[in-house]
Amino acid sequence: MDSPDRSIRSVIEAWAIWRDAGAWDELRLTWHHDGRMKTTWFRGSADDFVAAARAGFEAGVLVHHFLGGSSIEVSDHRAIAQTKMSISQRLMLENVEVDVTCVGRFYDFFERRSGDWRIVLREPIYEKDRVDPVTPGQIPAMDQAVLATLPPGCRHLLYCQRTAGMSVHTDVPGLRGREVQELYADGRRWLAGETLRR
């Protein structure tokens, strides 16, 4: 029987592969039936997230996730997993094709039910980001005043997503600040057996 850490890490790795490959039925299995997802562009049930990701994929949206190491804290049938990751999205910005890349962590609330570890809530922490033109020398114009109003950990990602017509959330956890401290506090309460309030 696999250890909790190994089982949890397996789910985390499968999520990234299945999300980017468009394996939607398999992706849905990484969450429990009542699982939820929160990102810069989405907040809701795992079912709705998978449907929205699928619609974007089929419309040509190109997003990739890369994973680094994980820190997993287990308490009985619950766990908090933090995994280093990067999110890269290719899109058009002021008629220039760019890659916008954000580095951060997946912060996952896990629970073991009927012997299976799956995600109850995934909420990324956005630490830093950047924009790179796909063709060297092509520099898109960006409104610096607008950029300055966005959270520093994902301001370029949010700017690009807005420009692409997406609705975005700006109250997202970053490396520092109230939002990430509240996330950590909810993680501690989760491990202590309390009801998830996020």
CB 32 within 8 A of CB 108: no
pLDDT, position 2: 76
Percent pLDDT > 70 in the chain is 99
Number of Cα atoms under 13 Å in the Cβ half of residue 80 = 17
pLDDT band (50, 70, 90) for residue 197: confident
Q: Where residue 198 falls among pLDDT bands split at 50, 70, 90?
A: confident
pLDDT at 40: 96
The pLDDT value given to residue 1: 59
User: Do β-strands 31-38 and 116-133 pair in parallel, antiparallel, or remain unpaired?
Assistant: parallel
pLDDT score, position 83: 98
pLDDT of residue 196: 93
Q: Tell me the mean pLDDT in the region 69-93.
A: 97
Q: Residue type for 36, please? A: R
Distance from C-alpha of 170 to C-alpha of 172, rounded to nearest angstrom: 6
Predicted confidence (pLDDT) at residue 184 exceeds the cutoff of 80: yes
Tell me: the pLDDT tens digits for 44-70? 999 999 999 999 999 999 999 999 999
Whether 28 has a pLDDT exceeding 90, the answer reads yes
How does residue 151 score in pLDDT terms, banded at 50, 70 and 90? Answer: very high
Q: Can you say how many angstroms the Cα of residue 88 is from the centroid of all Cα atoms in its chain?
A: 11
Structural domains of the chain, with CATH: 4-191 (3.10.450.50)
3-state SS record for the chain: CCCHHHHHHHHHHHHHHHHHHCCHHHHHCCEEEEEEEECCCCEEEHHHHHHHHHHHHHCCCEEEEEEEEEEEEEECCEEEEEEEEEEEEEEEECCEEEEEEEEEEEEEEEEEECCEEEEEEEEEEEEEEEEEECCCCCCCCCCHHHHCCCCCCCHHHHHHHHHCCCCCCCCCCECCCHHHHHHHHHHHHHHCCCCCCC
Q: What pLDDT score does 16 carry? A: 98
Measure CA 66 to chain center: 11
Q: Given this model, what pLDDT does residue 103 score?
A: 98
Closest by CA position to 68, among listed 141, 125, 21, 135 = 125
